[in-house]
Amino acid sequence: MKKINLKKEEENRIISLFEGGESIRKICKITNYSQSLVQRVLCEKNKTERFKSNKNYIAVCKKTKKQYNDFKNSSGILIKHIQNNYNNIDIPSKFKRKSYEREFNQMWHEKFFKIEEIGEKKEEFKCKFCLWKTNDINNSSGSYTKHLLLNHKINIEKYLSIFPSDDYLFKTFILKQIKKIIMLNVKFVAKN
């Protein structure tokens, strides 16, 4: 199938319609272009990404003002909240919700939730053995040390034998080890 190349002004028209709030389906009707062509133009111009990957967002219920970190509803918590707090709402299937998102460039649950940016995404440290992660990127609180012991039965010495470049995570432990070695050397020198 041959790729259709549009003139610059045709691409700009699609973008201006989209930025003006028109749905992709409506843009297709106005321009007589296929949905895949309109989506390709918008993707090439980075117009379909509503949420920046370096930002944190929350979903705030318009009725109860309850806040959720899972603003994309990956866990289904927003749908559950809608079912519990809104009467007589017919929840569409996941397929229909995704179709709605493609057509109107907003998630279906945004009818009930306001999506708010809450700041820059913090850097995270991820466990090398599982999906656990923490914002404590230098292990200052010792949360990674505790996680390793409780969930993987791995002490610091064993971890460092596997990942020696991660020594920056265990500064306190390493300083204590150095002090032990120095104290042993001092005792040895004092005896001799």
- Give me 169's structure tokens: 């995570």
In this prediction, residue 82 carries a pLDDT of: 95
pLDDT tens-digit readout, 67-126: 998 888 888 899 999 999 998 899 999 999 988 887 777 899 999 999 988 877 778 889
Q: What single-letter DSSP state applies at residue 165?
A: G
In this prediction, residue 162 carries a pLDDT of: 93
Is the pLDDT higher at 121 or at 172? 172
Where in the chain are the domains? Answer: 8-44, 55-120, 125-191
pLDDT tens-digit readout, 115-161: 988 877 778 889 999 988 888 888 888 889 999 999 999 999 999 99
Determine how many CB atoms are found less than 10 A away from the CB of residue 71: 23
Sign of the alpha-carbon dihedral angle for 62, 68, 72, 77: negative
In this prediction, residue 23 carries a pLDDT of: 79
Residue 188 has pLDDT above 80, yes or no: no
Under DSSP, is residue 54 helix (H, G, I), strand (E, B) or coil? Answer: coil
pTM (2 d.p.)? 0.49
Q: Give, for 84, the enclosing helix (H) or strand (E).
A: helix 77-85
